């Protein structure tokens, strides 16, 4: 399943006639279409695709320069969901750099260049997150990857308790996006299992380091010290369980013709649409409502990301079971790999998230 991604906001190179186009800005286009007659969403040379259709319309409407027409990498193109042949969508999102300033009637011109079954609903500016910022955050999050004792990232678990050992496959920035006019940063963590508050504390500690409120070696000390190391607990609002992955089961059985247990194809598209239509707007609205009622937290480490604690959900009613090794069966069933996604990092200074990470 594809994730929303964001790339660096690189200044547009000067080209002949560029002056009439102005500065390109990173935006997220909301797209609806009937997929009949198309070989899918993703650009594929030689066949009719929705991305090629949209790219052509943007060029005709002067949203991108003729020099960049058809060059998806030049405009930093990415998509939220890759729909298959014939599949329709009412809320897909395409991210790219295009010229939107001083363009009266641009939306009308773009849609005039599209067939009736494809409509651009509008666009929003994306949150700025340059490559240097992204690399710095990724480097902090990477310290969690591997098998570590997370006794300082949960409650009532001693340093030597085997239960504290958890395996994190990856933890990275998943991109930036605009929600209700405010910038948010997506963090994606993939692990075999989580304990109570573990992800919220991982996010809180990482944000504290990124913003300079905690020393750079704080995460290493929290993961290796047998002594208690306090770790900040991020608010619960933005965290949600994104997907359960069954890699061992799929590699063993799907090859024999059985259906893979995976959010791919139409299932993945439906899941992405649900996030765009319900989950993200809910997070943004609740955050805005809380911000209107409360004063910002006094500490600079106050920041975000978490709605249900995935670790608590995973071990609900079972205490904190020992994590299975990768691929190991649990009670005769394939061990799921839980994929939880803190959707946002919000700072105490409202509306400045992403940039205030450092």
Residue 335 · residue 329 · CB < 8 Å: yes
Say what the pLDDT of residue 329 is.
31
Question: Is position 84 annotated as part of the catalytic site?
Answer: yes
Say what the pLDDT of residue 175 is.
78
Say what the pLDDT of residue 199 is.
96
pLDDT tens-digit readout, 263-303: 877 788 788 888 888 898 899 889 888 875 554 433 322 23
pTM for the whole thing? 0.57
Say what the pLDDT of residue 210 is.
92
Say what the pLDDT of residue 257 is.
65
Structural domains for the chain: 18-125 (3.30.70.580), 131-357 (3.30.70.660)
Q: Which residues of the chain have pLDDT under 70?
A: 1-22, 101-103, 127-128, 181, 257, 292-358
Choosing from 62, 73, 84, 217, the catalytic residue is 84
């Amino acid at each position: 399943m594809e994730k929303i991604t964001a790339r660096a906001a690189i200044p547009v190179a000067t080209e002949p006639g560029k002056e009439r186009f102005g500065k390109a800005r990173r935006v997220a286009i909301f797209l609806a279409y009937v997929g009949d007659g198309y070989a899918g969403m993703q650009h594929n040379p030689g066949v009719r695709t929705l991305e090629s259709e949209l790219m052509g319309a943007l060029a005709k409407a002067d949203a991108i320069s003729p020099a960049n027409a058809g060059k998806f990498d030049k405009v930093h193109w990415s998509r939220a969901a890759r729909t298959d042949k014939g599949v329709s969508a009412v809320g897909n999102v395409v991210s790219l750099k295009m010229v939107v300033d001083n363009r009266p009637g641009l939306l009308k011109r773009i849609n005039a260049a599209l067939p009736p079954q494809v409509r651009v609903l509008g666009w929003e500016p994306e949150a700025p997150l340059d490559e240097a910022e992204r690399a710095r955050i990724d480097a902090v999050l990477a310290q969690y990857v591997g098998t570590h004792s997370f006794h300082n990232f949960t409650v009532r678990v001693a340093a030597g308790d085997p239960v504290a050992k958890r395996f994190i496959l990856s933890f990275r920035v998943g991109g930036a996006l605009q929600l209700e006019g405010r910038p948010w940063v997506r963090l994606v963590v993939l692990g075999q299992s989580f304990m109570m508050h573990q992800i919220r504390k991982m996010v809180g500690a990482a944000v504290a380091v990124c913003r300079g409120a905690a020393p750079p070696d704080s995460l290493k000390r929290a993961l290796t010290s047998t002594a208690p190391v306090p770790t900040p607990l991020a608010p619960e609002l933005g965290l949600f369980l994104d997907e359960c992955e069954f890699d061992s089961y799929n590699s063993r059985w799907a090859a024999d013709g059985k259906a893979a247990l995976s959010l791919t194809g139409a299932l993945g598209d439906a899941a992405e649409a649900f996030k765009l239509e319900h989950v993200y707007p809910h997070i943004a609205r609740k955050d805005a409502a809380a911000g209107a009622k409360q004063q910002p937290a006094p500490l600079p480490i106050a920041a975000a990301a978490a709605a249900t604690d995935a670790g608590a959900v995973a071990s609900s009613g079972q205490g904190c079971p020992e994590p299975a090794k990768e691929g190991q069966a649990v009670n005769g069933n394939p061990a799921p790999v839980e994929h939880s996604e803190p959707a946002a990092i919000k700072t105490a200074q409202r509306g400045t998230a992403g940039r205030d990470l450092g």
